[in-house]
Amino acid sequence: MPIGFFEKPTSLIDRLYRWVAIRLSKFSHGADAVPPKEALQGYRDAQRLANDTVLHVGKLLKVGMTEKEAAGLLEGYLEEHGSERYLHRPFAWFGNHARFDEYTSYDDYHPGERKLEYGATAILDVAPIVNGYIGDVGYTLSIGPNRELDIAREFLLQLRSEIPRLFMSEMTPAEIWLEVDRRIAAAGYDNIHSKYPFCTLGHRVFRVKPKKGKERRLGSKYFGWFSVDANLAFLKFGPSVTINAENVGKKLGVWAIEPHIGWSGGGAKFEEILVVEPDRCYWIDNDVPHLKPDDQLSHPVAG
């Protein structure tokens, strides 16, 4: 599968994939069930652990630290606080890697030896499992001032306020994807989540069977992004699990929404859980880092 979104199929196989994905996306396999209150609290707890993790590690970032070192700190904090399992492994992307420049295949998206520079953007992304519930958070920051990031955050917050209304409209997930893509382009940014596998603007979160011990991964390539349980769940739910330009299925349920934008030399995103019910749509928690004023956050300093 080529990286990026292409309006027209790039090959016969791509054409066949889109035809199948559109049709299978109508079948949610139970993922569109509205969760009970106790489940919502479970997702909220998992998201709060994820937020605590990225805030803690964000304060530890220093100039010269590599993406691998930052990802190791994320993993260590989660283990110390009771979560050895995850939907996907911790990610850290610095500088132009925050907009996936220099990547030629999905295998390149793992944290690498890229070093953090003063004033560069840094994205931290974790998805812990707590008591079987999945949280998934993306957080963007910089060491030192970054005016482009400040402006990008303002746009992302505006987009955050509009997304629930899009989900409550008659639009399909595919139409929502295309509308968000249009708004990103109109604001002068590149759509970076179009470079995710399946061009994912968001994906369902769900509960898995609680287990103890470290999570298992399938090697170090693309499938190694995700835990074994996550890969099995994705296969079960099929194309209904992601919000992209092929999903014409149901919107009800619990989603991790992750708009990711880019500009020359940097990128930014947020990610948090959105709950879609028949008569309302809302972010599961408003106590999230990207809603806090800068004076409430402890920013890292140059090392």
pLDDT band at 9 (very low <50, low <70, confident <90, very high): confident
Please state the domain extents for the chain: 12-296
Residue 294 has a pLDDT of 56
Closest CA to 86 of 31, 42, 136: 136
pLDDT of residue 218: 62
* pLDDT tens column, 247-300: 999 999 999 999 999 999 999 999 999 999 999 999 999 999 888 765 434 445
Q: Are 106 and 3 in contact, with CB atoms under 8 Å apart?
A: yes
Q: State pLDDT tens for residues 178-225.
A: 999 999 999 999 999 999 988 999 999 998 888 776 766 665 555 566
Q: What is the Cα–Cα distance from 299 to 296, expressed in whole angstroms?
A: 9
- The pLDDT of residue 22 is 93
Strands 137-142 and 121-126 come out as: antiparallel
pLDDT given for residue 229 in this prediction: 73
Query: What pLDDT sits at residue 162?
Result: 98
The per-residue pLDDT for 225 is 66
Beta strands across the sheet bearing 137-142: 91-94, 121-126, 137-142
Instruction: Note the pLDDT tens digit of each residue in 122-161.
Output: 999 999 999 999 999 999 999 999 999 999 999 999 999 9
Q: Which residue has the tokens 């996907």?
A: 88
pLDDT at residue 63 in the model: 96
Lowest-confidence region among 5-14, 30-39, 91-100 = 5-14
DSSP letter at 114?
P
Write out pLDDT tens, residues 27-80.
988 888 888 999 999 999 999 999 999 999 999 999 999 999 999 999 999 999
Burial of residue 296 (CB within 10 Å: 0-12, 13-18, 19+) is exposed
User: Average pLDDT in the 83-107 region?
Assistant: 90
CB 112 within 8 A of CB 97: yes
pLDDT at 221: 59
Helix axes 37-60, 67-80, angle to 10 degrees: 130
pTM, rounded to two decimals = 0.92
pLDDT of residue 296: 39
* Mean pLDDT, rounded, for 6-28: 86
3-state helix, strand, coil in the chain (%, to 5): 40, 20, 40
- Assigned token pair, 51: 């937020």
Q: Which CATH superfamily is domain 12-296 in?
A: Creatinase/methionine aminopeptidase superfamily (3.90.230.10)
Specify the pLDDT at position 298.
Answer: 44
Strands of the sheet containing 272-276, edge to edge, are: 242-243, 202-204, 253-257, 272-276, 281-283
